[in-house]
Amino acid sequence: MKGLSLLALIDCNSFYCNCERIFRPELKDKPVVVLSNNDGCAVSRTPEAKALGIGMGAPYFQIKSLCDKHEVHIFSSNFSLYTDISRRVMNILKSFSPFVEVYSVDEAFIDLSGIDNPLAYAQKIKEEIARRAKIPVAIGIAPTKVLAKVACRIAKKDPQHKGVFGFQEARDFDPYLSQIKVSNLWGVAKGRSLSLKLHGIHHAKDFRDFSNHHLIQKILTKVGRQIQDELRGISCFPLTLEHEKKKEMMSSRTFGRGVFEKRALQESIASHASSVAAQLRLQNSLCYEVLVYVRTNPYKEGIIQYAASHVLRFQRPQNNTFALIKLALKALEKIWTPGLEYKKSGVRVRQLQDEHEYQLSLFEQENSHSEVSKEAKQYKEEMLMKVMDHINHREGKRTLFSLACGTDHHTWKMRRDFNSPRYTTSWYELPSCNSKSLRKESKYSKKYGRPYKT
DNA sequence: TCTGGGGTCCTAGGACCC
DNA sequence: TCTGGGGTCCTAGGACCC
């Protein structure tokens, strides 16, 4: 059986609630609920709370009396705590497998290929997480992600499996797939499952064996076909191991109460824009596109409903806080309508680009034209400043670093004048990074310090 | 009156996820 | 009175080109 690809989904049970229980052990076996921002609705519930009929996303004002009656313990969310606990859980997983894909704050896939007894191994993982992070988890084992999700669901629902369930072969899932409702499959939510039901597809097995590809494509897009394949044991969603950069970012919030004034809206947009800019810088990304949106309260009757968004683009990509705020406020002007009661606002950035890639593209652009654009020059300086930040400790010493640019190798020589309170970098490009010039430079570096490489 | 066709690229917005 | 936030991915359809 070795060589067969196998993966496991580790899913923390009622994650936010169990994070809170770490510090309140007396709440074990008691109903606990964690509320969303503004204490709006329930986002995490323990099985005891679910048994009382508290649904996912249930508005707090609707369940409040129920909670009071059954002494449900209510918490406002504490995301920094949950992130911290999550990191601990993921670190434990990394000690079991080098191939860990962190899927969300409370879920991860790991590769179990080649493990002799996967079920026993998973049981060990479960115990270790319970012991070291104090978080109960369920583990599903299968050849594909969609089946691992199914397995994990069974592990959670059926106590006889003690939180770990799965098979090495897709066909072993057959008896279970006819029990699982299609709406419980990963990637099939209410809307799509309703359409599937119209065609007599009620359970996961019906779905897997449905052969009208055209119809599946129409109802569930390309993803539907992939889910079908995954149910058959053909992997379409492989593990993504490296930490990939985000492709979009957003910051949004509902207001505690309705907002009428333009000023308040502007303030919220500026704050979202600045938060997004900080996120961009954190992963060294720039963005071309800024989307601003506002909306009224769709649940409130008797008011004029309004939802609008507007997109503006930068000429060159940015992650500068002030540039983002400026553009976002400009976009807000386009959709601002007076006399309405606003309830939510947000800023979303799209078309991200890696900062360094962009800078390198400017270098290339510059090198291919005799005329240096002002923009390219400015970026070159900014980048050099950054490098200077890194080598700041080499005060007064000449330092060399080399930069890989496309297929060519450009070498930049830099110098900081230690007599000046400011950076006064002098730099120039060597014609090419051939071995002769490198040798010369290495002699030079020996005298003044090691080369700095990026 | 009748107003190409086929291709690519871009974007807005929806469905879904946790 | 009070109904989350942050993501990904996909597609329809418009703009544009020859």
- Give the protein-side footprint of strand B (Cβ within 7 Å): A 103-107, 149, 185-193, 289, 291, 309, 311, 313, 351
- Say if residue A338's pLDDT is above 80: yes
Residues A315-336: tens digit of each pLDDT: 888 888 888 999 999 888 888 8
- Say if residue A350's pLDDT is above 80: yes
Residues forming beta bridges with residue A100, ordered by sequence position: A110
Q: Tokens representing A129?
A: 């997480």
Residues A127-145: tens digit of each pLDDT: 999 999 999 999 999 999 9
CA-based max dimension of chain A: 82
- Say if residue A8's pLDDT is above 80: yes
Q: Tokens representing A347?
A: 């800023």
Confidence of residue A448 (pLDDT cuts 50, 70, 90): very low
DSSP secondary structure letter of residue A41: B
From the C1' of B13, which residue's alpha carbon is nearest?
A: A309
Q: How far in angstroms lies nucleotide B13's C1' from the CA of residue A307?
A: 12
Q: In terms of residues, how long is chain A?
A: 454
pTM of the model: 0.79
- Say if residue A209's pLDDT is above 70: yes
Is the C-alpha dihedral spanning A295, A346, A245, A107 positive or negative?
negative
- Say if residue A348's pLDDT is above 80: yes
Residue A26 CA neighbour count, 13 Å, CB half: 1
Pairing relation of β-strands A164-166 and A137-142? parallel
Determine phi and psi for A94, rounding to 5 degrees: -65, -20
Radius of gyration of chain A (CA): 28
Pairing relation of β-strands A7-12 and A137-142? antiparallel
Q: What average pLDDT score do residues A184-201 get?
A: 92
Q: How far in angstroms lies nucleotide B15's C1' from the CA of residue A379?
A: 40
CATH number of the structural domain A7-168: 3.30.70.270
Cβ pair A450, A401 in contact under 8 A: no
One-character DSSP codes across A55-75? -TT-BHHHHHHHHHHTT-EEE
Q: Tokens representing A258?
A: 């309705």
- H or E stretch covering A311: strand A307-318
Task: Say which nucleotide is closest to residue A218, CA to C1' distance.
Answer: C11
Task: Say which nucleotide is closest to residue A346, CA to C1' distance.
Answer: C5
Question: What residues contact A199, with CB distance under 8 A and at least 6 apart?
Answer: A210, A212, A215
Cβ pair A101, A65 in contact under 8 A: no
Q: Left if phi > 0, otherwise alpha if psi is -120 to 50, otherwise beta: which for A369?
A: beta
Residues A77-111: tens digit of each pLDDT: 999 999 999 999 999 999 999 999 999 999 999 99
Cα distance between residue A215 and residue A237, in whole Å: 22
Q: What is the dihedral of CA A174, A175, A177, A178, to 10 degrees?
A: 120
CATH number of the structural domain A249-356: 3.30.1490.100
Q: How far in angstroms lies nucleotide B9's C1' from the CA of residue A412?
A: 38
Task: Say which nucleotide is closest to residue A44, CA to C1' distance.
Answer: B18
User: For chain C, which bases have at least one atom within 7 A of a protein Cβ?
Assistant: 1-11
Q: What is the predicted pLDDT for the residue at A405?
A: 30
Cα distance between residue A185 and residue A227, in whole Å: 9
User: For chain B, which bases have at least one atom within 7 A of a protein Cβ?
Assistant: 11-13, 15-18
Q: Is A395 exposed, middle or buried (0-12, 13-18, 19+ CB in 10 A)?
A: exposed
Show me where the domains of chain A are located: 7-168, 171-231, 249-356, 375-453
Task: Say which nucleotide is closest to residue A107, CA to C1' distance.
Answer: B18
Q: What is the predicted pLDDT for the residue at A306?
A: 84
Residues A360-406: tens digit of each pLDDT: 777 666 555 544 455 555 655 565 555 544 443 333 333 333 333 32
From the C1' of B14, which residue's alpha carbon is nearest?
A: A191
Share of chain A above pLDDT 90, in %: 49
Measured between alpha carbons, how far is residue A332 from residues A72, A265, A296, A341, A348 in Å?
A: 42, 9, 14, 15, 12
- Say if residue A20's pLDDT is above 50: yes
Tell which residue, A18, A2, A142, A175, has the closest CA to residue A85: A18
- Give the protein-side footprint of strand C (Cβ within 7 Å): A 36-38, 40-41, 43, 56-57, 59-61, 217, 221-223, 246-254, 257-258, 279, 297, 299-300, 343-344, 346
Determine phi and psi for A304, rounding to 5 degrees: -75, 125
Task: Decide which of 1.10.3450, 2.30.29, 1.10.101, 1.10.150 is the CATH code for A171-231.
Answer: 1.10.150
CB atoms within 10 A of CB A317: 20
Q: What is the predicted pLDDT for the residue at A403?
A: 36
Question: What residues contact A108, with CB distance under 8 A and at least 6 apart?
Answer: A9, A10, A89, A90, A93, A100, A101, A102
Cα distance between residue A388 and residue A190, in whole Å: 54
Cβ pair A297, A341 in contact under 8 A: yes
One-character DSSP codes across A336-389? --TT--EEEEEEEEEEEEEHHHHHHHHHHHHHHSSSPPHHHHHHHHHHHHHHHH
Q: How far in angstroms lies nucleotide B11's C1' from the CA of residue A310?
A: 12
